[in-house]
Amino acid sequence: MKKINIYALLTFLAFFSLVSRSNAQQTTNDSLVQTIQLLEVDHDNTKTDIELIKRLKISGYIQAQWQMADTAGAVTPYSGGAFPIATDNRFSVRRGRVKFAYENEFSNFVLQIDATEKGVSLKDAYIAVKDPWAQFVTLTAGVFNRPFGYEITYSSTVRESPERARIFQNLFPGERDLGAMITLQQKKGSRFDWIKLDAGVFNGNGINPESDTKKDFIGHLYFTKANKSETFKFGGGISYYNGGVFQGTKFVYTPGEVLDVTQPGLIDSTASNKNSFAKREYIGFDAQFSVQSPIGITSVRAEYIQGQQPAAKSVNASISTGTLSNYDTYIRKVSGGYVYLIQGIGQTKNQLVLKYDWLDPNTKVSGADIVSKSSAGKSTGLGVADIKFTTIGIGWNYRFNSQVKLMAYYEIVKNESTGLSTVGLNRTLDTSKDLKDNVFTLRVQYKF
């Protein structure tokens, strides 16, 4: 009986050992399969992550500069801002941009901020979606450049002068606005891909919360052509702006139409003027030309703008706040523009720049007409906001490499001589003669 039990036990142990080995092998095989599956999943995730990273592009640039003005406290709002009262030179970070762009096949997202010693501000925040069929229509919405003219959308990293022309800083402060835009352009390689139309509606007050019901229209029709070798390029466009400015009071002035408030046409005090809108309208023309030759690349660019600008008595710039105005409205006929001549020096990294720009905020009057009171002793409604300014810029650019660019630029600013009395407490503003507000800028830029 004991022998039988021993034989049974040995048989059972042998069977159990075989089963255990079989199960262990199966477990090992299962574990190996699971490990392979996990590696495949991780590979897929890694591949997806790499694709996502490829779609995300981070770029930016910093412009550090030193400036010197003719006099301490020079009022130069169009050359990077007025100088501190007690100094005629300064160091500053003019622009410190970081841009995030995420691109898919038919859409992209852009976020750009600007960080300087003055603080951090938003520059761009928009999405753009292109139709996937004909790839002809693109919808852009958010905060982005106003589609007016050429220089607004011409990047500050490649612009040959430190700042945009005075007319653009005046009519379009900050360049950006909040709105939506449709772009019509055939995809590259199509028969008419050289023609582009931008048209959109915007708040009209820059990157600020909307403060009224009025929306502004901006449109730009543009073309660009080149020869096969691209040694000769030319382009041009026409722009149109139609909007309105909220009138905080019933008083609407048209200074310069007549030079005495006792005459009709200078002032309109109709009660219905209050809480209505004054028309804001511009038309602009732009042209570009460049040719490559043994002496280097020669480029000529020009723009001209004219229109109607509603603003305040002492300010001729467009509104750039999120609050309603509570001042009388002054409507002026405005014109301005710029001309560039840019010459590359052979095959070197040097570039010479000559620029002329002007802003006439009131084309109805000249400097001699700009007085506080007429011969009859009545207010003319004219002031510093009606003075014409011209600027001649002479510059040199040196591209050290693809990241670093050096710039030296001198601005000669001239204003009309007026019959206005000297104004200002800490900053003396005597426009009976040319103001001492020439500015020299020395800048280094790093781009990544």
User: What are 305-341's pLDDT values in tens digits?
Assistant: 999 999 999 999 999 988 888 889 999 999 999 999 9
3-state secondary structure of 152: coil
What's the pLDDT score for residue 372?
A: 84
Could you tell me the sign of the dihedral formed by the alpha carbons of 418, 421, 424, 428, in that order?
Answer: positive
User: Can you tell me the distance from the alpha carbon of 278 to that of 308, in angstroms, rounded to the nearest whole number?
Assistant: 10
Statement: residue 448 has pLDDT above 90: yes
What's the pLDDT score for residue 299?
A: 98
What's the pLDDT score for residue 2?
A: 42
> 10 Å Cβ neighbour count for 305?
25
Q: Which of 15-29, 33-47, 268-282 has the lowest mean pLDDT?
A: 15-29
Statement: residue 19 has pLDDT above 60: no
E strands, 215-276, in order: 216-226, 232-246, 252-253, 267-268
What's the pLDDT score for residue 264?
A: 47
Task: Say how many CA atoms lie within 13 Å of 373 toward its Cβ.
Answer: 5
Q: Which of 16-25, 26-35, 164-173 has the lowest mean pLDDT?
A: 16-25
What's the pLDDT score for residue 260?
A: 56
What's the pLDDT score for residue 380?
A: 83
For every residue of 301-364, which 3-state class applies, written as one string? EEEEEEEEEEECCCCCCCCCCCCCCCCCEEEEEEEEEEEEEEEECCCCCEEEEEEEEEEECCCC
| Mean pLDDT (the chain, rounded) | 89
Q: How far apart are the first and last CA of the chain?
A: 91
Could you tell me the sign of the dihedral formed by the alpha carbons of 236, 242, 248, 250, in that order?
Answer: positive
Q: How confident is the model at residue 45 (pLDDT cuts 50, 70, 90)?
A: low
Q: Per-residue pLDDT averaged across 283-294, rounded?
A: 97
Statement: residue 67 has pLDDT above 80: yes
H helices of 56-114, in order, are none
CATH number at residue 317: 2.40.160.10
Q: Per-residue pLDDT averaged across 191-210, rounded?
A: 95
Q: How confident is the model at residue 43 (pLDDT cuts 50, 70, 90)?
A: low
Of all residues in the chain, the percent with pLDDT exceeding 70 is: 86
What's the pLDDT score for residue 259?
A: 60
Burial 219-232 (b: 16+ CB within 10 A, else e): bbbbeeeeeeeeee
Q: How confident is the model at residue 191 (pLDDT cuts 50, 70, 90)?
A: very high
| Domain range for 127 | 2-447
154 Cβ contact partners less than 8 Å away, ≥ 6 residues apart: none
Q: Which of 8-17, 122-131, 206-215, 223-232 has the lowest mean pLDDT?
A: 8-17
Whole-structure pTM value: 0.87
What's the pLDDT score for residue 16?
A: 46
Split into its structural domains, the chain has a count of: 1
Of all residues in the chain, the percent with pLDDT exceeding 90 is: 73
Q: How confident is the model at residue 423 (pLDDT cuts 50, 70, 90)?
A: confident
Which token pair is 106?
């038919």
